[in-house]
Amino acid sequence: LHIGILVSVLLLITYCLIRDRHRVRNLSGKHIFITSCDTGLGNSLAKWLDKRGFLVIAACVTERGRQDLESCCSPWLKTVKLNLADPSSIARAVLFVTEETAGKGLFGLVNNAEGTTPVAPTDWLRVEDFHSVLEVGLIGLIEITLKLLPLLKRAEGRIVNLINAKGLVALIGGGYSLSKWGMEAFSDILRIEIQHFEVKVSIIEHSFFRTGVVSSDMIERDLLRLWNRLTPEIRDAYGEIYFVE
């Protein structure tokens, strides 16, 4: 028994020593860019990293989101407006990050944004409904990642993609699950391809967090809009009971 306890303690010490070797040192002067910081995970992460001493550049969709974040963080935290569905907005954000990093490169990119609605039976959707989700939750994130790669290579930084694990369970139609599976594949491919430049790519699969971005009321309103848009033939085929359930 004593030998078992001793071995366990030695293993624990060894684990702690190995783990601590991978801790990030000298946090000051390291820039991290985070998307979708108005609320939720991005907002919390921006505040936490700011307190840790990183130079955070937080992208927000709204002006209110920028103001709220700046009011409760250090003067070193910078914000920029970003609409991932708008290529010109992405270009402006990339220029802002380039100027802020001032030749140092980008230590970290955290992709957090996601397109949400509409989610509905596939038969109720049009192709533009898929575009509205994928342009934010997949295409926009890929575009800004590609445009920031030169800065990440310069700093031998890392990319962290936050992916809602529930989106990997394909239970309902629409672009939401497609965007999550797409980001998984993009991350896995990119990780292999840019390891030559000492740039790391990580995926964090988190659970669902209720934020201001999405709510059950919003989803229900959108389902009602789609239901009312259907032709009488399709509505009759599904029936009112199907819609209510």
What does CATH list as the number for 27-214?
Answer: 3.40.50.720
pLDDT over threshold 70, residue 128? yes
Decide if 15 is catalytic: no
For residues 109 and 70, what is the distance between their CA atoms, to the nearest angstrom?
19
**pLDDT tier at 215, thresholds 50, 70, 90:** low
- Token couple for 26: 């000298």
CA 137, 32, 104: angle at the middle one, nearest 5? Answer: 125
For residues 49 and 202, what is the distance between their CA atoms, to the nearest angstrom?
17
Please tell me the predicted confidence (pLDDT) of residue 26.
73
Q: Mean pLDDT in the chain?
A: 89
Break the chain into its structural domains and give their ranges: 27-214
Beta pairing, strands 108-111 & 55-60: unpaired
pLDDT over threshold 80, residue 208? no
Least confident range of 126-140, 206-220, 228-242:
206-220
pLDDT tens digit sequence for 67-113: 999 999 999 999 999 999 999 999 999 999 999 998 899 999 999 87
Q: Where would I find the H helices in 22-108?
A: 40-52, 63-71, 87-101
Q: Which of 15, 176, 238, 242 is catalytic?
A: 176
For residues 202 and 159, what is the distance between their CA atoms, to the nearest angstrom?
6
